Structure 1
Amino acid sequence: MATLALSVAGQFVGGLVGGPIGATVGRALGALAGSAVDGFLFGGDKAEGPLFDVRLGSSSEGLGVPRLYGWGRLSGNIIWARELVRHQSETAGSKGFGPTEDTEEVLASFAIGFCEGRVARLGRIWADGQLLDTRDLNLRFYHGDDDQMPDSLIEAVQGVGNAPAYRGLCYLVVENLPLSRFGNRIPQLSAELCRVVGDLEPAIRAVTVIPGATEFGYDPVPRVRVLGPGAGVSENAHLAAGVSDWTCSIDELQALCPNLEHVALVVSWFGDDLRCGTCTVSPRVEGATRQVEGATWSVAGVSREVAQVVSSHEGGPAYGGTPSDASVLAAIADLKARGLKVTLYPFVLMDIPQDNALPDPHGGTAQAAYPWRGRLTCNPAPGQAGSPDGTADAASQVAAFVPGYRAMMLHYSDLAVAAGGVDAMLIGSEMVGLSTVCGAGNSFPFVAALVDLAADMRAIVGPGTKLTYAADWSEYSGCQNGTEKFFHLDPLWASDDVDAVGIDCYLPLADWRDGEAHADAALATTGYELGYLAGNIAGGEGFDWYYASDADRRAQARTPITDEAHGEHWVWRVKDIAAFWGQYHHDRPGGVRSPTPTAWVPGSKPIWLTELGCGAVDKGANQPNIFGDEKSAESGRPYFSSGTPDGLIQRQVLRAHHNHWTDPANNPAGMVDPDRLYCWTWDARPFPAFPAQTDVWADGSNHRTGHWLTGRLGALASDELAMAIAAEHDCDLQAVPTAPLIGGLTMSAPATAREAIEPVLEMTGQRLAARGGVLVGLAQGPVTAALIEQDDLAQTDAPTLSRRRGDPAEKPGRLALGHFDRERDYLAATATALRRHGAAGVRELAAGAGRRSGAPGGRAPSQPPLVQW
């Protein structure tokens, strides 16, 4: 085996640097042509002709260095290269017989610069437009840090002290790339990059990881499902060849959230009945006969052959299976190796299909399809005729459910120990329908069972693992019925075996409506303002007032929240977390305040927000807990929502919460642990494979309006983007967040602050103005209606209201919209709309938008299309 340098014949083609480095770029590219000519003219060891057919790549001199904000796909510019290398090796003949053969390969080593500033994430790489398999390539990525050191290869070639570090420049070094794969030339490379400039990503310190129902989706090792002799399909590697989905996804999560500390790993078992007395909880599989190479599914000693199979929906599994114990152990080990603290999150999913014919404890003709676990209760449910609530019979129904539930929790306690311990673990979440079931004498049997369970789990996991229960936001502070109030979870919160008060925090942060005729329009211009949303964390609905009925909600007839009997207004305020945490609690059986407080000691334990999130849907802040899933009876849209996707409101809700709880003025004495705001949620299935591959994952369509941060982190609110640009130009800017969520922006040429910021503001319906030496983005909100008194309508000499018709010639005749689609490899598209017949043409444009000529419901084939795609 031998390695030797090719001859050099070429000229300087430049790059982002000059001098000897730039000359090296020219020589390397020129060598592609030069060596071919030398071989043809002068022969040598190979007299039969040129070594290879040659096509030249390029490097440009004097280009501006792009600047990236958020996500983008950037084509690089070659900034350094060394002489090409001919690599010779000896191989045996066909099937190992016959004489040995010499094989030659031309190898190229070069560096490609992408953009200025520190880039957080290098994602996919394309070569000549095709996704590049990087498994066998020697690549080194430099993020563009201000203190990055020179690359080892560049320094070896140029000499110590002569190699630039390209500080502040994001670049990629490709070492010994075989050129035969690319037609014997350096390919045109482009890369998916994310430069994080928003304030949410650095603020995130805790996140949940789902799907929870995935047999091998948490396995860091790529697995293959065997379909038959010689046939297989990837089980858990759908984005990058040879790299598991888990690795791709968690790599991106850590890159985008540099201060991430806690990961709550969700693992699901399945319940099969909303009647707790007949409900069983068990692990399940997607299929009874699947074979995965190198891995066996087993959970709590249950094998695939005997495990129940999840129900079917529209010809496929309604859920993924329970994660195999081995994959959970591997995921925990991988998270810990990354320096992350693990919270193990056992989770109950209700696998109740449509047309189930099960008696409904809530009074329906059959149980709801794929319902929320919070609806699991006694039969009939409290409030229904004949309900055993408040009797020993209710307690006995709860007791029948507890053993199966305990089996799940104790199993994962053992698994946590087998993993070498975890930082924290949940003993349950959002079992509100069970926790509020009353036994005799105002007892709460499921809460008592949780107290016992916490003690038994503590005996297994030891003092080093923190335990808590993730209460629903409507459950954590007690249950009430009229004037009755019980702090029913206080025995659990006060238990020595429970380390924190857990709240799944989906508190409503808005009461926003379309138009201007609604109460909150006086509080905000767009409904996305952080001050408006944060002001409703401890204010607004659930704190200051409530709606007594749906009719009152429609009319915005708000009833103040007061406690006329005892003056403890906080008792009825679901949002008054500070008072709940800092006060003694007195039950009110029959509406009468008990003189003896509960076992809760004020301020004795921190509060964890075990889930914190909002759907990426129009007016999501009105009801952050609502999600869309067509197979589930729980599917819905927030109050007054159109149901259209809106990633910005999701981001703003999370920004508002992080700003609020990290401010000591709102969070006295560390009441809410700022490191335990677990954002819901990140998916172990990497974007964009999920949600695009709906043939693999049936829930992909839910991503559009769901709670996923996957595919959205790294994007920007308009105020974040505008202020980041302004800061880099040493300008002060005040901007208002306005839809839409911006995936990314690339500036490819130098520009002033105004030139850079104005397009951002214009795109989001704002204009830039100067106020007192500060640039201000002014949001153009709803136009205030003109009020005209009836008497003013009488005939007068001067018109009361007048409007001049605009000149049609002054109206835009063409509208072009360009965009890129990250889910489709940043495919760029442009839609152009043409005005043809004045106002009538506009109406025709609206009616015909998106249709193609001759398509069903479209225009006649003889007419040209109004919208060209």
Structure 2
Amino acid sequence: MATLVLGAAGAAIGGSIGGAILGVSAATIGGFIGSTIGSVVDSWIISSLAPTQRIEGARLDTLRITSATEGAVIPRLYGRMRMGGNIIWATDFREETKTTTQGGGKGGGGGKVKTTEYLYYASFAVALCEGPITGIGRIWADGKPMDLSGVTWRWYPGDEAQAADPFIAAKMGASNTPAYRGTAYVVFEELALSTYGNRLPQLSFEVFRPLADPDTAEGLTRAVTMIPASGEFTYATQAIRKTDGGATVPENLNALADSTDMVEALYRLQAMAPAVESVSLVVAWFGDDLRAGSCKVRPGVEVSAKSTTPASWSVNGVSRANAFLVSRDDQDRPVYGGTPSDFAVVQAIQEMKARGLRVTFYPFILMDVPPGNSLPNPYSDNAAETGQPAFPWRGRITCSPAAGFVGTVDKTGAAASQVAALFGAATPASFSVSGQSVSWTGTPGDWGLRRMVLHYAHLCAAAGGVSSFLIGTEMPGLTTIRSGAATYPAVQAYRDLLADVRSILGSGTRIGYAADWSEYFGHQPGDGRGDVFFHLDPLWADPEIDFVGIDNYMPLSDWRDGFEHLDAAEGWPAIYDRVYLQTNIAGGEGFDWFYASAADRTAQVRTAITDGAAGKPWVFRYKDLRAWWSNTHYDRPGGVESGTPTAWAPQSKPIWFTELGCPAIDRGTNQPNVFFDPKSSESFTPHFSRGWRDDAIQRAYLEATYLWWGDAANNPVSSVYGGRMVHVLECAAWTWDARPYPFFPALTDVWTDGANWRLGHWLTGRVGAVSLAALVRHLCLRAGLPEARIDVSGLWGAVEGYAITALESPRASITTLSRHFGFDAVETEGVIRFIMRGRAAVATLGADDLVAGREGDVLELTRGQETELPQALKWQVARADEDYDAALVEARRITVDTTRIASESFPMAVPPEEAERRCRRA
């Protein structure tokens, strides 16, 4: 059996390999002797007549480890965290000698110098924590990122089914080799120690262990979108290098030296969100004008000249030199990454499929309309006005002048011509396919939507196919253009494009259009004519469309400062409350009422959504998916309902949320569709947001939404196709990034949009933490509490990483969390309820609600030790100083608040300890 040895003397390796596992402390383990191999050879050695010299470097004579002791703590980890470990197994070190000879050449007359180096290799296993974990990220050696290229290492998750490591088994014998089930560990095989001064380095590991419970974002998210949509080689799984000033530097190896950004991002996705099984790959071309008749949609590059190896950039047969050059900012940096090269898109599709993920292809348009442009603005009553908004949303593309503006071409033949110009004349035969390369053979200069979409249909087929394909996304300004009173040319153009995509991809691919949430259900022009048209129904009803796609960013709250606004007055405790958010999925703004103006929103003057004598208010409710999906649709030209229904057959197609998300900014659920990006004219913060980063609201939104639609009571079964109305498995959260966290957003010299991550919709860096509610529940269950006696619905937020490294009670662990997050535990009716502080008061008691001990008394004042006072019960009083009588008067209208921390009663003036003292004194 192999000897369990480590080392004799040298630098201790405790620090990063900290803690204690199986009773062996880091200090006990010790380390290798470290010294420099070789010596300086002075000039006297090679003098004439000098004899042959023999120089030997430092040598290790032994390698030992202190015996392990049972009973010490194996750490428990939740979320993601950098942590050390303890060595639980090692072989004898292996020594190699390397001898070199210098001097003694012809005519030199000098003696030879032989130098012997001793090289050492160690094989060992490092236990990390209780399993199962989902992955290992970065590894540090001696505090620096470890270069793992050429290193043989493996990690084991610590589940109850893991087998013994084959290398350990080969050394110790299969019957003597433990599998260390329940413990996550890492095995290094023949690690060269010369890099670390012939000693074992101090090691630490980035460990992933999310709690993917069925009510957490990690356990509920089954599909995500993958961005950044732009980036010439971001999606490549092959290392691409560029020549810059004579040096060769990597283009897509910004995270690890031996793994591309895309591969690392996918690995982290599956480690952080283990329930994900579907990814929508977003790939962008660039539009250059909001006027449909003038807009070109082209692939773009960051620079017009760049030498890359082993592959060059090419999209649709267009080379770098001939591609559209994206705009640059005031620091001469490209404002967007270039369009992903075709070979990179193919590699991304194949890599995701190899990982068992379903792939939806998502063509995207980024508008490159720089500030200071002189383009005519279609949204202007002045035909001579120039200057379109900077970097606008693609959904603004429309006819020129737009509907509702002076001189509009809407409802004329000119509108149809402008739509046709935007789509172009590409056909499936306009392309040449050779292997995995797709080139353009159509009319030069045709840069229409059809060319983009049909190119990618061919490319997806060449890549081996995709599960789903979108023919367009969020184009309400285009789909609502009319060439007559009730004729929508863009809708028909999408139907024609749909048929061509089907001819390329075949029946095995599901095809859809991703409508904006304000677009999918109908067009109500608001021009005073009373028109109501289900304008997309011809597309939704088309036999080639497999699902109704909706980019879902509907508001789920109307929260304001304080507790005096309407939603708080209704009794909702906080914006994060799950039931509150879920009530607004099929209720609230866009269902029960709307704001007729910005002034009404400020004053909370809500106008009910009604439908007069027709009695179909769902026609105007964009949130009423169930009624829209279940009913026959009738257009209302001039406000009069037609006697003939549209082509839509009730319950005929499932609904997919092709995008679903909320920005990580306070009150993001008030307006989930907005995004803070200073360069864009579309940059906004949500209604009544203070501009603070808030990861908790993003998590609350996702969990509330996925749980709502996952409930059969809210998501009926179709009588036509037998599935649910909303196909939750393909509801894609926006968004995961192919630039792996934390390198994005940290590397701002590489990616200029890193600053947008802080308040944006990114899940990277956020999903993969552990839900506070799930963590507290988990700790209670480990303590033996039945789940029926635990209520964590009053908790929100997440813990990025939490490690328990000592023997402590679950109560001690929960207390640590309660101090950091501000929550209390309250036992009522046999259930322990965990409730955040700082919520609205749950009850107000007046003098008549109190029972007097004797006549004339309304309170009994009892002094007691602080430890005897109920932590959950806070008494809200006025700022009572030393005047007892004044305090008693105020106490007559005490508010019993079981959740608000005492400092909430004395805002911005008194520390919590003083506030509690005053409460007790009062």
TM-score by length of 2: 0.80
Asked if 1:744 corresponds to 2:801, the answer is yes
**1:464 Cα deviation (Å)?**
1.2
Asked if 1:195 corresponds to 2:209, the answer is yes
Picking from 336, 343, 356, the partner of 2:353 is: 336
**1:803 Cα deviation (Å)?**
4.5
**1:69 Cα deviation (Å)?**
1.1
2:881 maps to which residue? Answer: 805
Going from structure 1 to structure 2, the CA distance change for 1:93 and 1:249 (only over 3 Å counts) comes to farther
How far apart are the structure 2 equivalents of 1:797 and 1:113? 65
How far apart are the structure 2 equivalents of 1:55 and 1:354? 67
Going from structure 1 to structure 2, the CA distance change for 1:215 and 1:110 (only over 3 Å counts) comes to same
Going from structure 1 to structure 2, the CA distance change for 1:840 and 1:29 (only over 3 Å counts) comes to closer
Say which SS state the counterpart of residue 734 (structure 1) adopts. Answer: strand
Say which SS state the counterpart of residue 181 (structure 1) adopts. Answer: helix
How far apart are the structure 1 equivalents of 2:307 and 2:705? 45
| Maintained 8 Å contact 1:525/1:779 | no
How do residues 151-230 of structure 1 correspond to structure 2 at under 5 angstroms? 151-198=165-212, 199-229=216-246
How far apart are the structure 2 equivalents of 1:8 and 1:480? 78
**1:385 Cα deviation (Å)?**
1.4
**Which region of structure 1 is more displaced relative to structure 2, 702-711 or 100-109?**
100-109
| Maintained 8 Å contact 1:58/1:78 | no
| Maintained 8 Å contact 1:53/1:183 | no
1:496 maps to which residue? Answer: 543
How far apart are the structure 1 equivalents of 2:765 and 2:801? 12
How far apart are the structure 1 equivalents of 2:242 and 2:594? 53
| Maintained 8 Å contact 1:299/1:325 | yes
Going from structure 1 to structure 2, the CA distance change for 1:728 and 1:276 (only over 3 Å counts) comes to same
Going from structure 1 to structure 2, the CA distance change for 1:31 and 1:305 (only over 3 Å counts) comes to closer
How do residues 13-52 of structure 1 correspond to structure 2 at under 5 angstroms? 16-17=21-22, 50-52=58-60
2:825 maps to which residue? Answer: 768
How do residues 502-581 of structure 1 correspond to structure 2 at under 5 angstroms? 502-521=549-568, 522-581=570-629
1:66 maps to which residue? Answer: 75
| Maintained 8 Å contact 2:7/2:65 | no
| Maintained 8 Å contact 2:76/2:805 | yes
How far apart are the structure 2 equivalents of 1:53 and 1:702? 56
How do residues 631-650 of structure 1 correspond to structure 2 at under 5 angstroms? 631-650=679-698
2:284 maps to which residue? Answer: 268
Say which SS state the counterpart of residue 71 (structure 1) adopts. Answer: strand
Say which SS state the counterpart of residue 565 (structure 1) adopts. Answer: helix
Amino acid in the other structure paired with 2:755: S
| Maintained 8 Å contact 1:717/1:740 | yes
Picking from 113, 126, 129, the partner of 2:143 is: 129
Going from structure 1 to structure 2, the CA distance change for 1:30 and 1:227 (only over 3 Å counts) comes to closer
Picking from 620, 631, 637, the partner of 2:668 is: 620
**1:15 Cα deviation (Å)?**
6.6
Picking from 750, 760, 770, the partner of 1:706 is: 760
Going from structure 1 to structure 2, the CA distance change for 1:99 and 1:33 (only over 3 Å counts) comes to closer
How far apart are the structure 1 equivalents of 2:412 and 2:34? 90
Asked if 1:240 corresponds to 2:256, the answer is yes
Deviation readout 1:518-566 (Å, 9 max, x if unpaired): 1111342121122111221111111111111111111111111111131
Q: Percent identity?
A: 47
How far apart are the structure 1 equivalents of 2:353 and 2:397? 34
Say which SS state the counterpart of residue 755 (structure 1) adopts. Answer: helix
Asked if 1:149 corresponds to 2:163, the answer is yes
How far apart are the structure 2 equivalents of 1:125 and 1:149? 23
**1:806 Cα deviation (Å)?**
7.8
2:497 maps to which residue? Answer: 453
Going from structure 1 to structure 2, the CA distance change for 1:58 and 1:572 (only over 3 Å counts) comes to farther
1:352 maps to which residue? Answer: 369
2:467 maps to which residue? Answer: 423
**Which region of structure 1 is more displaced relative to structure 2, 378-387 or 699-708?**
378-387
| Maintained 8 Å contact 2:8/2:63 | no
How far apart are the structure 2 equivalents of 1:457 and 1:252? 33
Say which SS state the counterpart of residue 735 (structure 1) adopts. Answer: strand
Picking from 105, 110, 122, the partner of 1:108 is: 122
Going from structure 1 to structure 2, the CA distance change for 1:58 and 1:240 (only over 3 Å counts) comes to farther
Going from structure 1 to structure 2, the CA distance change for 1:336 and 1:92 (only over 3 Å counts) comes to farther
Amino acid in the other structure paired with 1:626: V
| Maintained 8 Å contact 1:287/1:309 | yes
Picking from 455, 458, 476, the partner of 1:411 is: 455
| Maintained 8 Å contact 1:245/1:686 | yes
| Maintained 8 Å contact 1:310/1:321 | yes
**1:52 Cα deviation (Å)?**
5.0
How far apart are the structure 1 equivalents of 2:142 and 2:667? 42
**1:618 Cα deviation (Å)?**
0.5
User: Unpaired runs of 5+ in structure 2?
Assistant: 38-53, 107-111, 425-447, 718-723, 848-855, 860-875, 884-907, 913-922
How far apart are the structure 2 equivalents of 1:390 and 1:513? 42
Asked if 1:327 corresponds to 2:371, the answer is no
1:781 maps to which residue? Answer: 838
**Which region of structure 1 is more displaced relative to structure 2, 432-441 or 776-785?**
776-785
TM-score by length of 1: 0.85
**1:201 Cα deviation (Å)?**
1.5
**1:341 Cα deviation (Å)?**
1.5
**1:775 Cα deviation (Å)?**
1.8
**Which region of structure 1 is more displaced relative to structure 2, 81-90 or 495-504?**
81-90
Going from structure 1 to structure 2, the CA distance change for 1:174 and 1:121 (only over 3 Å counts) comes to same
Going from structure 1 to structure 2, the CA distance change for 1:92 and 1:460 (only over 3 Å counts) comes to farther
How do residues 301-320 of structure 1 correspond to structure 2 at under 5 angstroms? 301-314=317-330, 315-320=332-337
**Which region of structure 1 is more displaced relative to structure 2, 364-373 or 618-627?**
364-373
**1:367 Cα deviation (Å)?**
0.5
Going from structure 1 to structure 2, the CA distance change for 1:494 and 1:92 (only over 3 Å counts) comes to farther
How far apart are the structure 2 equivalents of 1:160 and 1:27? 28
Aligned length: 788
Say which SS state the counterpart of residue 558 (structure 2) adopts. Answer: coil
**1:479 Cα deviation (Å)?**
1.0
How far apart are the structure 2 equivalents of 1:454 and 1:783? 52
Say which SS state the counterpart of residue 638 (structure 1) adopts. Answer: coil
| Maintained 8 Å contact 1:690/1:697 | yes
How far apart are the structure 1 equivalents of 2:703 and 2:3? 57
| Maintained 8 Å contact 1:739/1:764 | no
| Maintained 8 Å contact 1:4/1:86 | no
1:385 maps to which residue? Answer: 406
Deviation readout 1:767-793 (Å, 9 max, x if unpaired): 11222332211222346598999xxxx
| Maintained 8 Å contact 1:735/1:777 | yes
How far apart are the structure 1 equivalents of 2:32 and 2:254? 38
Deviation readout 1:66-90 (Å, 9 max, x if unpaired): 1111111111111122221113467
| Maintained 8 Å contact 1:718/1:736 | no
| Maintained 8 Å contact 2:32/2:198 | no
1:735 maps to which residue? Answer: 792
**Which region of structure 1 is more displaced relative to structure 2, 96-105 or 590-599?**
96-105
| Maintained 8 Å contact 1:717/1:737 | no
Amino acid in the other structure paired with 1:376: I
Picking from 487, 501, 507, the partner of 1:463 is: 507
Deviation readout 1:250-307 (Å, 9 max, x if unpaired): 1111122223221111110011000111111111100000111211111111111111
How far apart are the structure 2 equivalents of 1:696 and 1:105? 38
Amino acid in the other structure paired with 2:832: L
2:394 maps to which residue? Answer: 373
**1:111 Cα deviation (Å)?**
1.2
How far apart are the structure 1 equivalents of 2:829 and 2:784? 16
User: Pairwise CA RMSD of aligned residues?
Assistant: 3.4
1:257 maps to which residue? Answer: 273
How far apart are the structure 1 equivalents of 2:84 and 2:245? 42
How far apart are the structure 1 equivalents of 2:749 and 2:612? 58
Going from structure 1 to structure 2, the CA distance change for 1:806 and 1:170 (only over 3 Å counts) comes to farther
**1:117 Cα deviation (Å)?**
2.4
| Maintained 8 Å contact 1:375/1:432 | yes
